[in-house]
Every structure is written in structure tokens, then in C-alpha cells.
Amino acid sequence: MVRLFVALDLPFEVRERLRLLTGAKLPGARWVPPENMHLTLRFVGEVDHGRADDIDAALGTIAARGFSLTLEGVGTFQSGRRVHALWAGVERNPALEHLRAKVESALVRAGCEPERRKFTPHVTLARLDQPDPAKLGDWLHGNALFRLGPVPVEHFTLFSSRLGREGPHYTAEAAYALR
């Protein structure tokens, strides 16, 4: 079994700029290391190696044009009243939405269940464990005008993920060029 997801692998310079957002002393924040920063197009989950091969083949049939995107703003994800993640957002981008739809269609053709959650493009910056509301508010306010772009998107990547003591370890399994 292998745990997979499809994502945009961000250029080194972009990850370094995002890293500058993660240096704050924010109690309860477990900052994502720059090498793990990406923009998830679709989480696949645990699949056997045969299904992984089918997924790779289906993703390889996608024909889409390269594009640029802009990272913009910061925010949080929460469940009920519990805030559990900090993210950098993405300016609305029809080309990104088009690529995401093609990835979803390819994965369904490869036998994956359709995604039920709404696509919210973002780059996760930190996981949060009971953050101090005042300090979190200060961080959000202080970074509200964050903007970075244009970021060229010339390919998308199939990653595997291994969970470990130090956090997840991601491996690029295949990259698919955009025209």
C-alpha cells in the first residue's frame, strides 16, 4: 500500500519566501518545513501498487497548458471552534481550476472515489494545537497583505507520503509536464 496525493511542487524561491512567514513565535504552531510546502490538487489516500500504476497512467494522459498563479493572503482552517491549520491562499485562477478538474476526472477514471470536499487552493504553513487566540489574531493581521507571484506552473506531481515521528516525508513519484 502507498499513500498518494497530487500537487503543485512549488519552486525553491517560493518555498523560501513562504518560510519567512513561518518564523514567528506562535505557541501551538508546528510549522511546515519548506521542503514539504506544496499546493495539493487532490489527496488520493492509501492505494495498492496496482491502483497506483493506474493513477500514474491516468494522470499521464492529462493535456493542459502551463500557467502562472499568485499566492495571496493568509487564513485558517477550523473544525467547529477548533483552529487546526494556517495557510497561504491562492488568488482565483481559472487555469488552476481547469487543471484540478482534469486531475479529478483522471483519478475517477483510474477507480478513485470522487472528491466530495470543495477545492480550496492553499499552501499549508502550520498545523495548530490550541493556539493562543490573541497571538494567532496578531499573526493573521500582520500577514494579511501577503502576496507572491506570479509563480510559474509548468508541471504537476504525484507524491507519496510516509508518516513518521518527525512528521510526513513526501517523495515525488512522477511529474507531468504542462504545455
Q: Which residues are catalytic?
A: 38, 122
What cell was used for 154? 509548468
Residue 170 CA to residue 4 CA, distance in Å, equals: 9
